[in-house]
Copies of this chain bind each other. A is one copy, B any other.
Amino acid sequence: MEIKFEPIGIIHSPYTKLHGMPIQPSAARGVEGRVEVDKKYIPALSDLEGFSHIYLLYHFHLAKSHQLKVIPFLDDQERGLFATRAPKRPNPIGLSVVKLIRVDINILHVENIDVIDGTSLLDIKPFVSEMEAVKDLRIGWLEKHISKISSQLSDKRFK
């Protein structure tokens, strides 16, 4: 069974190459980006500006194949792909929570963007922490690398 999606817009960021790019929003604090949504979806952007944070779902277009095990940026051991956020996934969908600064018609001005320039946008959802029933969080192999999460940048390993 094949599921077909079409980009609903394009994400612009200061990052034009993978090397040195932040690998998650917490390492990209303050980095500004622009999400250009296809004009036919303007009505669907109403009420979005009330939310301070939104999920962007996008296509990891540079990931041409997938790996089942990867050495993540934050570790020096191989880990199961689904226990990481590495981009070379069977369905290369990226997920980032960004800060929404303002909406100009069809342009979303955002901060904390950890996405390469020119990435295809698939969906936008409001971030509402009350919707996720998260209590007693454990973060597995990442626990011992927690201090690096806000500083680790990308290299070329997933190119």
* A24: interface (CB < 8 Å): yes
Is B142 a contact of A82 with CB atoms below 8 Å?
A: no
Residues of B near A141 (CB, < 8 A) are: 47, 50
27 of the cross-chain contacts (CB-CB < 8 Å) are A1-B6, A1-B7, A2-B4, A3-B122, A6-B91, A25-B131, A25-B133, A26-B130, A26-B132, A46-B79, A46-B80, A46-B83, A47-B140, A50-B138, A50-B140, A51-B83, A52-B138, A57-B57, A57-B91, A82-B123, A85-B125, A96-B132, A112-B133, A127-B134, A130-B139, A131-B149, A133-B150
**Which positions in A face B, CB cutoff 8 Å?**
1-8, 24-26, 28-29, 41, 43-55, 57, 59, 68-69, 79-85, 89-91, 93, 95-97, 99, 112, 120, 122-134, 136-143, 146, 149-150
